[in-house]
Structure 1
Amino acid sequence: MDPPVPDKGSTSTLLAAPLVLNGGDTLQQQLCQRIKRAILAGQLPAGTRLPATRQLAQDLQVSRNTVINAWTQLQAEGYLISDRQGSRVSPIALPASAAADVSSEAPVADRVALLHSSHRYSREEMPLRAGVPALTHFPFAAWRRALNRVLNDTPQRLLGYGDPLGEMALRAALAQHLSLTRGVRCQPQQIVITEGAQQALSLCVTLLSNPGDVGWVEDPGYRGAKAAMLAGNLRVQPVAVDAQGLAPDARLWQHAAPRLIYCSPTHQYPTGAVMSAARRLALLAKAQAHQAWIIEDDYDGDFRYVGEPIGAMQGMTPGAPVIYIGSFSKTLFPALRLGFMVLPATLAASLRPALHELLRGGNRLEQQALAAFIASGDFTRHLSKMRRLYRQRQQTLRQALQETLGAQVALLGGECGMHLVLRLADEIDDAALAARLWQAGYAPAALSGYCAGDAPLRGLVLGYGNTSNAQLQAGARQIGRLLAGRY
């Protein structure tokens, strides 16, 4: 279906009306504000294709640079998306901004109708969803070059099954990247390419445990780890998390000794706790003594904003009993569906026959393209750009929440990643609050949903990766209004 376009009358009114120097706002600022207002009011629906900059400059009788600079600013704020076909209204610009302008006193049905009047949004597209990267900032040109290099190099050989463990070009590029940026000790032969980190988790359960074994998961923690263990008929044991990460006590080691231990030590999900060096070393020693395997999920360690990057636990000691897993869902884009796991050398050798039976080397074109993307330096440049963007967006969200809820508002997880946790009082029903926010066009998660037990933590997990500054500010105001009116 073609993108919607405004009718000629609205185009004339919204875009072609003259800009006037009035001693206040510049022509560029006037044009930016005009487009913003039209988007927020629903007059320019999501997906609307805007006129070419050259034509619009002629219509407005301004320089083309004025229009280009306005479009660049609107793209940076998340209102527009630009590609080789031109510029169009962002599919994520309308919901949060519109929600901010709708009175919290209005009926929910009215607000939902307004939000969805011009575009139907999936939960994945909605602002404040955790774990979604800035998709409008993906470097399509560089990725296209990498794909073209692969397609131009005898693609027929890549159409059949490949190495079940993954394309060696990608494994070699990834081994070098992980060694330099994450301190991972590995050779390409230790890496297995998977269809996302979730498949890596499932393979760990399948290959390293038996039904009835005990699997430890963080509490609160990533629900996918628990799901993978339950699917393998493991007995899941939640382990409390404190300010230093996973905190098992001696009784757990004695009475619920694990076969598998899942943890995210660099940036615990969702609280953001960083596991201390002492606790990491103690966990490694205990796991070794109990013949347990640690699954280290480094889901967003590439995005750290305070001090130097924190290296992987896997690289702290030689021969560590750690399976290191990750994916490109957050560093590139989720639909790529490429992840990986790094096995200890001895384990990689012993598991190779089983992996050859379980896996069928696919996604070969994408794997080769990703190898070229990494080798060219484009991946590193993209990560650097995203660090700057996410740092700035996090600061915007933090400031907006402090202005709305007070300077002493409790925020967790701010040193890394693409989300913050807004801690709330125990009497707040965070699930009900999250549901109300969803109705208003936002998709944060309730912190209690990641917890086990009868006394869950209360709060909101707020993603800022794929959410513009305007949406972050509007979302903070909406949270404040709902809390003030108790939802």
Structure 2
Amino acid sequence: MIKSTTTTEFNRAMIPSTPGHPADTAAPASPSLSSPQLSSPLLSSPLQRGPGAPPRQRQLIQRLKQAILAGQLPAGGKLPSSRALSEDLEISRNTVLIAYEQLTAEGYVVADRQGTRVAALSAAPLSAAAVTTAAAAAAARSTAAAVSTAAVSTAAATAAAVSTAASSAPPQSTGRAARAAQGATPPAADALATATRLSRIVSTRSPVDSSLPMTPGTPALTQFPISAWRRAQDRALQAAPAATLGYGHPIGEPALREAIAQYLRVSRGVHCDASRIIITEGAQGALALCVQLLTNPGDTAWLEEPGYRGAKSAFNAGDLNVVAMRVDADGIAIPPSAWQANPPRLIQTTPTHQYPTGAVLSVARRLELLDRARQAGAWIIEDDYDSEFRHQGEPIAAMQGLLPDAPVLYVGTFSKTMFPALRLGFLVLPDAIAKPAMPSIIEMLRGGHRLEQLTMAAFIENGQFSRHLGRMRRLYRERQAALREALAAHLGVDHVVLGGHSGLHLTVRLPPEFPDQRIVDDARKLGMNPSSLSSFAVNPLPEDNGVVIGYGNTSADRFPALIKRLGDVARQARRPA
């Protein structure tokens, strides 16, 4: 038996000394941990019993942890013997032994021939509120299935209150680095502060169901060939049932990269081979990888204005200096002076179908952009997010294929051509980057989504992907035509339709007296989900006022009633001239 203090001695140690009432002459201690004379509320109640109560050993572990963290059990102090503690709490001795073993494993106590003693912790004792909150959170995690709903709610409320108090603390006038240089200790609230870059990543998303009609960027999910996809998935599993469950190649499954390379060469005119293709977590993952590979904090990145919000987020996450370049009817319009005033490291553009205005970057501007970027040592990110859906004329080839060794990183995604939940995108690297960067890329990435990748490869190779694209082109052409007709007949507000020969959306510019964000907010209350044009701009101008209406997920016969309702909303939101 390991020697330990008795429960009575343990309780005496728990009573703080006060003038005229020192601990060693205190009133007779209770023979149990649950004595009301104990100063710690954590140790003043018996263990819970009955249905729904957490396991007793878990309760005891949490109770002792809290007392140690609060400094109520000083370092070096002996715990009661397992026999004495089990008798006083009327629990099994094995329960106490298991609790002591767990505390020893986690470093709270040390067991030797002299008994079980409280270990010396380097951190200062926590406040009672901090200990209670930390313990409540730990107990809620470990006993979620056993603790009653009321107990969980109490712990959550306590944690929420502490979180709210921390988030509402006033900002400090000086930074952590400045205080450290002065030898000052940063306050606890500042130590928990998030990175400053997060202040530049402003959410523009709304917690609205993306299946609502008029949602931009959402394809016709009800028309997806689920049966064909399931057959391709079954074939992938049968071909390599065990291998698909393991880690894959960091840059993606070879079969999918080869299938994408073949598709891009034929349909998009992209110069590539499978060795230069990296499979990513959607287009957003490809943008983030571009930032990681090619920039350092403080570098300048250009993006379109108005433009894709995900590019802005990726650039801000990389601590880049983001400069917005206006877009006109011919795509991104870069003033000649900008190359000297703000020379870029990255330039993001959607040349085939500008998002969200629908403009197509003219070939003259493409060639000029390629030439100037090469001279400046800049890299162009060509985001070809929905080029497969061209509704008028022949498909427009990718800018990447215009010149040999073009300084272009080509980004694509299956979110529009297949379905968003697939989360498969890809990045085509230039030769100049692929070879030197590939060892680092392989170290940075981890292979995953093997089954989805192998299924996608089979879906392309067996022709189902091409057949699906053909059906969707016809469907989206019909839906876009119906939306145009409905706008002309039922909107009842002066407007201009921008672009519109490709993709899954139309952008409708409105006069300034029709505030687009209010229109969108009111439309969502009525079950419609367009986006405001101004929300895509870093620095919105009066011409960035309008609505972006998706037609991919909305059947053609619904547009007359929907557009009439949207027109009513716009007229009600109109500001006085």
Structure 1 length-normalised TM? 0.74
**In 2, are the aligned partners of 1:216 and 1:261 still within 8 Å (CA)?**
yes
| Deviations 1:348-388 (CA, angstroms, capped at 9, x unpaired) | 11111111111111011110110000001100000000000
Distance 2:520 2:485 in 1: 21
Is the deviation greater in 212-221 or in 399-408? 399-408
Tell me if 1:346 matches 2:432: yes
Give the length in aligned residue pairs: 367
Where do 5+ consecutive residues of structure 1 fail to align?
Answer: 1-120
Tell me if 1:244 matches 2:330: yes
| Deviations 1:263-286 (CA, angstroms, capped at 9, x unpaired) | 000000000000000100000000
1:217 to 303, 309, 317: 303
Distance 2:466 2:436 in 1: 33
- Residue of structure 2 in register with 1:479 after alignment: 566
Shift of 1:122: 4.5
| Deviations 1:136-179 (CA, angstroms, capped at 9, x unpaired) | 00011110110010111131012211111100100001001011
Is the deviation greater in 349-358 or in 276-285? 349-358
| Deviations 1:13-70 (CA, angstroms, capped at 9, x unpaired) | xxxxxxxxxxxxxxxxxxxxxxxxxxxxxxxxxxxxxxxxxxxxxxxxxxxxxxxxxx
- Residue of structure 1 in register with 2:365 after alignment: 279
Please list every run of at least 4 consecutive aligned residues from structure 1 whose deviation after the TM superposition is greater than 6 angstroms: none
**In 2, are the aligned partners of 1:402 and 1:408 still within 8 Å (CA)?**
no
**In 2, are the aligned partners of 1:197 and 1:327 still within 8 Å (CA)?**
yes
- How many percent of aligned residue pairs carry the same amino acid? 53
Pairs within 5 Å for 1:393-404: 393-404=479-490
Distance 1:355 1:283 in 2: 27
Tell me if 1:269 matches 2:355: yes
- Residue of structure 1 in register with 2:226 after alignment: 140
Pairs within 5 Å for 1:372-451: 372-405=458-491, 409-451=495-537
Query: What amino acid does structure 2 have at the position aligned with 1:212?
Result: G
- Residue of structure 1 in register with 2:377 after alignment: 291
Distance 2:375 2:387 in 1: 28
| Deviations 1:249-308 (CA, angstroms, capped at 9, x unpaired) | 111111100000000000000000000001000000000000100000000000001110
Query: What amino acid does structure 2 have at the position aligned with 1:275?
Result: L
Query: What amino acid does structure 2 have at the position aligned with 1:220?
Result: P
SS of 1:278's equivalent in the other structure is: helix
Shift of 1:464: 0.3
SS of 1:433's equivalent in the other structure is: helix
Distance 2:571 2:540 in 1: 26
Where do 5+ consecutive residues of structure 2 fail to align?
Answer: 1-206
Distance 1:406 1:438 in 2: 19
Query: What amino acid does structure 2 have at the position aligned with 1:480?
Result: G
Pairs within 5 Å for 1:96-135: 122-135=208-221
Distance 1:209 1:355 in 2: 14
**In 2, are the aligned partners of 1:411 and 1:422 still within 8 Å (CA)?**
yes
Pairs within 5 Å for 1:191-202: 191-202=277-288
**In 2, are the aligned partners of 1:128 and 1:472 still within 8 Å (CA)?**
no
SS of 2:382's equivalent in the other structure is: strand
Is the deviation greater in 297-306 or in 156-165? 156-165
Tell me if 1:470 matches 2:557: yes
Query: What amino acid does structure 1 have at the position aligned with 2:460?
Result: I
Whose Rg is larger? 2
| Deviations 1:222-268 (CA, angstroms, capped at 9, x unpaired) | 01001100000000000010111011111111110000000000000
**In 2, are the aligned partners of 1:423 and 1:458 still within 8 Å (CA)?**
yes
